[in-house]
Structure 1
């Protein structure tokens, strides 16, 4: 049955950073399916982002790919401004860009720590600040965090710390930008499947499936669906919230 209310994001323009990656692409596909015109921000995955823009356009949507190094402050501002110029407006910002290297804490260098902060946390701060001028009067900012922002794991001290900071930045931005009509929320995925993951990490995948009440790994589209909801009018009274998308694995006892 067709939705009598139409696509929930029809007429809106969204910018997704890190859109050439697995999760970013899943978010972009769901936003486009919900009716949004989508700007696919990318840095090192230009071919994938441009291919995705072609896919979304061929399916009847509106999409473009724009390059930007989000570790550069001026590039962040240019990306946001160019996205708003392309779309004629900007309604949704999804700060998805980031990195996830594994390094034991004892071996972690200051440069690696700083690189994580710049790519994951500082880029979101810069893009959010730049977007406010376009979002004033209403809009939605979404930060893609992680369940590791509240639950650490080996080799991810820098990643977990950056995601935890992103969660607090979500709440702080929601507090300060709420009077402008801007809502700011986070989505915290659990383990998201990718081609070859079960082959590369069979014990980890098996442990996850055993611990998750829903018995499966996440899909990029699961994260995208959460973003569509939080960006839509259905979440009009939700801000400063962290929506966990992990199949219930966080409910598993740790003792």
Structure 2
């Protein structure tokens, strides 16, 4: 898919999935604005912008910088997020709010700012959700709730923003590989390999391919959709 000339903002582009998404857009010819907070961006040709997305003002500044870079903004991928493990019993309200603010409020604020830029010209916004938005895991009550909220927010935004030519979707990855994961969590990786119909973990590039498709003209009639990228794991029966 050729996205030559398009300007795409990817939040969380210093992380594993975010970096893979940014690479795929760059390979498709897009001009990539790579957001980072604590990490660093290593994508040649990208405009790296540091921002704390727990602040709505910082979200607006980030979107403004992306749109000003080349005078347009065609797509946003809200990939920034955290995934702490904490049992519900003993979870504090501050821990709960921290995950919701980082994963959901940031996407809300970036979306709101992006829609203002995209009015009239149209564009694509994609939230990175998770299969845990529908299938929670132990220790992930706050994370799973945040991902379910992203799916619902995208559908609501799609409903309201279609009149501006703005499409809003989500991509829900399954377990995505990263360096050291098999050593840190061998039993979980083994269970996934055994359960997934395609017999492997996902890659950041798998997620990036889905995001590139949703931002492309080939998805021009797709909005309010949750594209699951999980190797078929959600197709397995639960009984």
Task: Report the TM range for the smaller structure's normalisation.
Answer: over 0.9
1:251 matched to 2:235: yes
Structure 2 matches for 1:9-28, cutoff 5 A?
Answer: 9-28=3-22
Quote the offset at 1:212 in angstroms. 0.2
SS of equivalent residue, structure 1 residue 105: coil
Cross-structure match for 2:128: 144
Q: Is 1:42 paired with 2:36?
A: yes
Superposed CA deviations along residues 51-80 of structure 1, whole A, max 9, x for unmatched, are x23xx33xxxxx110000000111110000
* 2: CA distance, partners of 1:180 / 1:82: 21
SS at 1:107's partner residue?
A: coil
Distance 1:118 1:43 in 2: 15
Match of 1:86 in 2: 69
Deviations 1:87-124 (A, max 9, x none): 22100000000100000000211000000110000000
Equivalent in the alignment of 2:223: 239
Runs of 4+ in 1 over 2 A off after TM superposition: none
Q: Any conservation in 2 of the 1:8–1:233 contact (CA below 8 Å)?
A: no
The whole-number CA distance in structure 1 between the counterparts of 2:90 and 2:71 is 47
- The count of residues paired between Structure 1 and Structure 2 equals 238
5+ residue gaps in structure 2?
none
CA contact (8 A) 1:211 1:249 kept: yes
For 1:176-229, what per-residue CA distance to the aligned partner results, in whole angstroms no more than 9, with x for missing partners?
A: 000110000000000000111111111000000101000000000000000010
Match of 2:152 in 1: 168
With the length of structure 2 as denominator, give the TM-score of the two structures.
Answer: 0.98
1:8 CA displacement? 2.0
- Which residue does 1:183 correspond to in 2? 167
Task: Say yes or no: does 1:29 pair with 2:13.
Answer: no
RMSD: 0.8
- 3-state SS, counterpart of residue 106 of structure 1: coil
TM-score (norm 1): 0.92
**Equivalent-residue separation in structure 2 for 1:9 and 1:149 (angstroms):** 29
Q: 1:110 aligns with which of 93, 117, 127?
A: 93
Counterpart secondary structure, 1:178: helix
Q: Does 1:70 align with 2:53?
A: yes
Helix, strand or coil at the partner of 2:48: strand
The equivalent residue for 1:4 is none
- The whole-number CA distance in structure 2 between the counterparts of 1:218 and 1:182 is 28
* Aligned match of 1:159: 143
Q: Counterparts of 1:175 and 1:92 in 2: how far apart (Å)?
A: 18
